[in-house]
Chain A
Amino acid sequence: MRLRLVPQNTTWDFFSRSRLWLGISALLMVVAFVSFILQGLNYGIDFRGGTTIRTESAQPVDVGAYRDALQTLNLGDVTISEVFDPTFGPDQNVAMIRIQAQEGQESVSAEIIASAQEALTTVAPDIQFVSVESVGPKVSGELIQTAAIAVLLAIGAVLIYIWLRFEWQFALGAVAALVHDVLLTIGIFSELQIKFDLAIIAALLTIVGYSLNDTVVVFDRVRENLRKYKKKDLKEVLNISINETLSRTMMTSVTTLIALVSLFVLGGDVIRGFVFAMIWGVIIGTYSSIFVASAILLWLGVKRDWSKPDQTQGNQFANVDA
């Protein structure tokens, strides 16, 4: 007996409430955007400059004492948080200390780090500084710009690729799904105030890649079925295609999620935010390839005039491998 995530022959109607789903997605995107505008992201030092110090000691972390010790140095905004993780040993107490970029300093000041370390050592004599990272404001400004360009470039490249391989309606549908995924990911980072750093940009781009992967598989089937069922209307063809690929969609999402969840639980706190972004992305990416990309495709419509076979497949690049 085989494990089946979905029944063998499904004929679910994914578009009976397509307006509702599109509406919910649109609403969520608005919420995400408003949250991003009002609350902003909890940028890591990669994007706003400053210093983070990761400490480790055998004694429990006393956040108040740490704060008092650093207060005397007048370093401006200092945030201290204790880190908990199932992978830590019993006497492994970890804290993250973030110090804002100092006024009027382009470069990173070694004295500030040294003085902070000294102050912390008086509070907790056995403290170890397992990692110290500083980014100057000049670089952080550039990093955020590069990151934004990278995401836009990726979306643009994908738009062009799908347009070449399919038709423009498919490309728009896919890109709408991508924007949806990226926006919702940024939204949840803003809403939960999870640290947003360079690694999250990598996660965002992976989400772009993954969501697209899903969308393309559905679209590929739509393209095939459009040729197969010339008489059926687009909605029916889309439904057939999604149902036919549903088993694969679920299989791949579940195997990817299995891998990601094990990384989330066991991979340590350093990459937890990164893995969280990817888990979130896989879930909404799977959702968006059906309820956003396909719904938009249905809404835009596709040219169904198959009388001239030469022009039915988008353009000359459409079937190079088939």
Chain B
Amino acid sequence: MLQIDLWKRIVIWGVVALGLLMALPNAFYTRVEGHNDALAEIEAMGATDAREEAAAAWPGFMPSGLVNLGLDLRGGAHLLAEVQVDDVYEARMEALWPELRDALRPERATIGTIRLQPSDPDELVVRISEPDGIARAVEVARGLARPVTSLTGAGAQDLEVAGEGDLLRVTLSEAERLATDERTVRQSLEIIRRRIDEVGTREPTIQRQGSDRILIQVPGIGSAAELKEIIGTTAQLTFQPVVGRGASAEDNAGVGNEILPSLDEEGVYYTLETAPVVTGEELVDAQPSFDQNGRPAVSFRFNPSGARKFGDYTAENIGNPFAIVLDDEVISAPVIQSHIPGGSGIITGNFTVEESTQLAVLLRAGALPAELIFLEERTIGPELGADSIVAGQIATIVAFVAVLVFMVLSYGLFGVFANVALIINIGLIFGLLSTIGATLTLPGIAGIVLTVGMAVDANVLVFERIREELRGGKGPARAIELGYEKALSAIVDANITTFITAVILFAMGSGPVRGFAITLGLGIMTSVFTAIFVTRLMIVLWFERRRPKTIEV
């Protein structure tokens, strides 16, 4: 007969209670959000009365997980950036040139004079005046290669060297390129994360996508343009030797040199050696400060290797100017007054206090190793998000009430059972969404509404089956039992197939579509659970109490 073991009953009610408890914070969204924010602030910046009060608005022993609202509901900016990993090859080759030159110099007797040739950015081509010495030159260049530091590239060297006639060609090996790409993307990801964290926005999503892309979603930010400014598409700091100073960008710079404009002096251009002495990557700290005249400046400190390079260079080039270059603009080009050991220094320029603070933040967060190209950008205003939430809420409530009424009209008391299960079902979806920290999007709301419609399906299958059994002359208890038994395979098959599509959607989709897949998938799980266990338990409880001779479904 209709029997459900006591332990099963306890487990079922326990799961329902737990799910509803996890869903509860969402009913007090702003209060719980204030509580969570306050706790985070107390953790980070210490307690104040206002924060204590906000934190106390929600009891600490209660769960405080909330459903994250997606960008389309909360407003914010979305960017899909592609890291130009090739940039790094170029930088590597530029940095290699002085090293290669110094290594080849002692071999002048065999290879003659050496000269850098114009080439593709990702290779280094050197012409030697004695073609007979090419074998020796290749050997020397190969000596500069180092083992690749990655798991897949183990055993490979990072440089590929070829000699043809009097030309020596150096490129990065395939294994090194792969390893470099990996490093570049990870580094970019980390830097973007740090920069966004510096600004302190709430719950940003910064994810790697595919091999060289980064997805950035920041709720609550004004526009994608603003977000791009924070990320700083080309914030690269370098210290480069100055060759000369002129008034035109069109001058012939010469091989290995480049011409860059001055940041604050209109019409002034500097000719610089392309290979930097030190780059911003080797900075360990930067702080806003003031120079000896009390003007805003930025003080900085290098790591040991940067400090050594900077120290050596300043020792050898006293009296020569060198340029501090940010984003391909010369901030300043001071003359080296003395050897600067210890690797710390100060950047002066015509800064305001804000600018020097901003520059310090930029430097501290580190330069991006490569340029970012934005393939996709979306800005959703908070008003549109708020409108969408309101519309979604109204639609969900109307859908909900309509389905509830319809179910009662169709199935009477059993419809009421199904409705209670449906309400529990919605609670469980929210409970699960909060627990796994999933994001609710507008299509996600549509997924919930669709679940409202479809969740009754499992109950309908059972109820229709019970009706059939009753018509077939079975007694009430037997009809209910058979109804559940026979409907099970249809329920399972029907829901597994829908679940398969939800999984594929989740795997292939992104953003809003993924939000839809999540609510649909969770909705299928909870609706099967409520139909098979919760409704059944309710019916059994009712049946045990009333023991009706006949039932009408």
Check B411 against A108 for contact (C-beta < 8 Å): no
Those of B442-493 within 8 Å (CB) of chain A: 442-443, 445-446, 449-450, 452-454, 456-457, 460-461, 464, 467-468, 471, 486, 488-490, 492-493
Check A268 against B387 for contact (C-beta < 8 Å): yes
Check B403 against A259 for contact (C-beta < 8 Å): yes
B352 to chain A, nearest CB (A): 24
Check B450 against A256 for contact (C-beta < 8 Å): yes
Check B508 against A150 for contact (C-beta < 8 Å): yes
Interface residues on B, range: 35 or more
Check B376 against A114 for contact (C-beta < 8 Å): no
Check B453 against A130 for contact (C-beta < 8 Å): no
Question: A157: which B residues are within 8 A, CB to CB?
Answer: 500-501, 504
CA A217 to CA B486, docked complex, whole Å: 12
Whether a CB of chain A sits under 8 angstroms from the CB of B497 is yes
Name the residue among A113, A139, A206 with the largest chain B CB count within 10 angstroms.
Answer: A206
Whether a CB of chain B sits under 8 angstroms from the CB of A30 is no
Question: A202: which B residues are within 8 A, CB to CB?
Answer: 443, 505, 509, 512-513, 516-517
Question: Which residue from B388, B390, B497 sits with its C-beta under 8 Å from A158?
Answer: B497
Whether a CB of chain A sits under 8 angstroms from the CB of B384 is yes
Whether a CB of chain B sits under 8 angstroms from the CB of A278 is yes
Name the residue among B80, B383, B399, B411 with the largest chain A CB count within 10 angstroms.
Answer: B399
Q: Mark A258-288, 1 if CB is under 8 A from B, else 0.
A: 1110110111101100110010000000000
Question: A255: which B residues are within 8 A, CB to CB?
Answer: 403, 406-407, 452-454, 456-457, 460
Whether a CB of chain B sits under 8 angstroms from the CB of A79 is no
Q: Mark A137-179, 1 if CB is under 8 A from B, else 0.
A: 0110000001101100110011001100100000000000000
Check A267 against B392 for contact (C-beta < 8 Å): yes
Interface segment, one of B140-148, B222-230, B543-551: B222-230
CA A133 to CA B409, docked complex, whole Å: 45
Name the residue among B82, B398, B494, B517 with the largest chain A CB count within 10 angstroms.
Answer: B494
- Check A2/B410 contact, CB under 8 A, given A201-B513, A210-B498: yes
CA A9 to CA B472, docked complex, whole Å: 12
- Check A262/B513 contact, CB under 8 A, given A205-B504, A255-B456: no
Check B443 against A134 for contact (C-beta < 8 Å): no
Question: Which residue from A87, A129, A158, A206 sits with its C-beta under 8 Å from B500?
Answer: A158
Interface segment, one of A13-21, A64-72, A245-253: A245-253
Whether a CB of chain B sits under 8 angstroms from the CB of A193 is no
Check B494 against A216 for contact (C-beta < 8 Å): yes
Question: Which residue from B461, B500, B511 sits with its C-beta under 8 Å from A248?
Answer: B461
Interface residues on A, range: 35 or more
Check B501 against A208 for contact (C-beta < 8 Å): yes
Question: A56: which B residues are within 8 A, CB to CB?
Answer: 383
A52's nearest neighbour on chain B, judged by CB, is B378
Name the residue among A224, A247, A258 with the largest chain B CB count within 10 angstroms.
Answer: A258
Check B402 against A258 for contact (C-beta < 8 Å): yes
CA A2 to CA B225, docked complex, whole Å: 59
Check A136 against B504 for contact (C-beta < 8 Å): no
Q: Mark A172-197, 1 if CB is under 8 A from B, else 0.
A: 00000000000000000000000000
Check B376 against A136 for contact (C-beta < 8 Å): yes
Check B501 against A154 for contact (C-beta < 8 Å): yes
CA A198 to CA B512, docked complex, whole Å: 9
Whether a CB of chain A sits under 8 angstroms from the CB of B380 is yes
B78's nearest neighbour on chain A, judged by CB, is A133
- Check A132/B378 contact, CB under 8 A, given A150-B508, A263-B395, A322-B489: yes
Whether a CB of chain B sits under 8 angstroms from the CB of A311 is no
Question: Which residue from A129, A209, A248, A268 sits with its C-beta under 8 Å from B501?
Answer: A209
Whether a CB of chain A sits under 8 angstroms from the CB of B11 is no
A105 to chain B, nearest CB (A): 10
Those of B58-112 within 8 Å (CB) of chain A: 72, 80, 82
Those of B366-424 within 8 Å (CB) of chain A: 373-381, 383-384, 387-388, 390-392, 394-396, 398-400, 402-403, 406-407, 409-412
- Check A263/B383 contact, CB under 8 A, given A136-B374, A154-B500, A248-B460: no
CA A221 to CA B468, docked complex, whole Å: 13
Question: B390: which A residues are within 8 A, CB to CB?
Answer: 87
Whether a CB of chain B sits under 8 angstroms from the CB of A31 is no
CA A106 to CA B228, docked complex, whole Å: 17
Question: B460: which A residues are within 8 A, CB to CB?
Answer: 248, 251-252, 255
Check A259 against B508 for contact (C-beta < 8 Å): no
Name the residue among A9, A108, A139, A162 with the largest chain B CB count within 10 angstroms.
Answer: A108
Question: B452: which A residues are within 8 A, CB to CB?
Answer: 255, 259
Question: Which residue from A107, A146, A244 sits with its C-beta under 8 Å from B508?
Answer: A146
Question: A113: which B residues are within 8 A, CB to CB?
Answer: 225
CA A136 to CA B182, docked complex, whole Å: 24
Whether a CB of chain A sits under 8 angstroms from the CB of B496 is yes
CA A73 to CA B250, docked complex, whole Å: 30
Question: A270: which B residues are within 8 A, CB to CB?
Answer: 72, 384, 388, 442
A275's nearest neighbour on chain B, judged by CB, is B446
Those of A298-322 within 8 Å (CB) of chain B: 319, 321-322
- Check A260/B453 contact, CB under 8 A, given A139-B376, A154-B501: yes
Whether a CB of chain A sits under 8 angstroms from the CB of B520 is yes
Check B376 against A199 for contact (C-beta < 8 Å): no
Check A199 against B378 for contact (C-beta < 8 Å): no
Those of B495-553 within 8 Å (CB) of chain A: 495-498, 500-502, 504-505, 508-509, 511-513, 516-517, 520, 552
CA A153 to CA B449, docked complex, whole Å: 25
Whether a CB of chain B sits under 8 angstroms from the CB of A257 is yes
B505's nearest neighbour on chain A, judged by CB, is A205
A215 to chain B, nearest CB (A): 9
CA A199 to CA B444, docked complex, whole Å: 11
Question: A61: which B residues are within 8 A, CB to CB?
Answer: none
CA A154 to CA B402, docked complex, whole Å: 31
Question: Which residue from B392, B399, B500, B504 sits with its C-beta under 8 Å from A259?
Answer: B399
Check A263 against B399 for contact (C-beta < 8 Å): yes
CA A293 to CA B461, docked complex, whole Å: 20
CA A150 to CA B497, docked complex, whole Å: 15
Name the residue among B384, B494, B495, B497 with the largest chain A CB count within 10 angstroms.
Answer: B497
Check B446 against A271 for contact (C-beta < 8 Å): yes
Q: Mark A195-234, 1 if CB is under 8 A from B, else 0.
A: 0001101100110111011101100110010000000000
Whether a CB of chain B sits under 8 angstroms from the CB of A3 is yes
Given contact pairs A54-B384, A128-B383, a sample of 7 additional A-B residue pairs in the complex whose CB atoms are under 8 Å apart: A56-B383, A133-B378, A135-B375, A217-B493, A251-B410, A252-B457, A265-B395
A-B contact pairs, 27 of them (CB 8 A): A54-B384, A108-B374, A114-B225, A131-B379, A132-B223, A132-B378, A133-B378, A134-B224, A150-B509, A154-B505, A158-B497, A162-B497, A198-B511, A198-B512, A202-B443, A206-B450, A209-B501, A210-B454, A212-B494, A213-B497, A220-B493, A263-B446, A267-B392, A267-B449, A268-B391, A268-B392, A322-B488
